[in-house]
Amino acid sequence: MYATEYALLGGNAKAMSTTENALNVIRQGLPVDMIDHAGDVLRVAKGDLVPLIGANLRSIQRKKGGEGGGNLTPQQSEHTLAIMGVLTSATDYFNDREAALEWMKTPQIALGNKSAFSYLDTMAGISFVNDIINRMKYGMTA
C-alpha cells in the first residue's frame, strides 16, 4: 500500500511494505519536505499542491522551519500519497511519466472538460480520476 508513491517522495519503500506499516507512516505524518518532492515529481508549484492536500502554504512553511522539519497531518499525508497514486496509475497506463503528467494537466472529455488535477482536492475526486484511468486500462469508454 503506497510503497511506490512513498518512494517517489523520497521515502524508503520498505517502510510501506505492509498495510500496518503504511498506516503507521501515515499516522505519524509524512515529513513536510516530501511536499517539495511531490511538487517536483508532479511538476507543480508548491503553492498549487498544498491546497490540494487541505493545507495552506504558510502552515507548511512554519512546520518546515521548525526544529526537526515537522510532519504533515495524517489526513494530509494520506491525501498526498493518494495524489501520487493517481500519477502511478496514469504512468502505468501510459507507460511514461511525462505522458501521464500531460494527461493529468490537460482537460479531458471524460472528466467533464476539466483536468485530472482539478479533481485531486478531495478523496472522492481522486477515486473518480482513478476510475477513469481504470476504464481506459480495460478498454471501457472513459
Give pLDDT tens digits for 43-61: 999 999 999 999 999 988 8
Tell whether the model's pLDDT for residue 3 goes beyond 80.
Answer: yes
What is residue 62's predicted lDDT score, i.e. its pLDDT?
Answer: 85
Backbone angles phi, psi at 31, to 5 degrees: -60, 140
Residue 66 binned pLDDT confidence (cut-offs 50, 70, 90): low
Mean of all residue pLDDT scores within the chain? 93
Strand, helix or coil at 31? Answer: strand
Q: What residue ranges do the domains of the chain occupy?
A: 3-137
Tell whether the model's pLDDT for residue 67 goes beyond 80.
Answer: no
Give pLDDT tens digits for 70-115: 999 999 999 999 999 999 999 999 999 999 999 999 999 999 999 9
Give pLDDT tens digits for 27-47: 999 999 999 999 999 999 999
Residues in the chain: 142
What is residue 61's predicted lDDT score, i.e. its pLDDT?
Answer: 86
d(CA 133, CA 17): 24
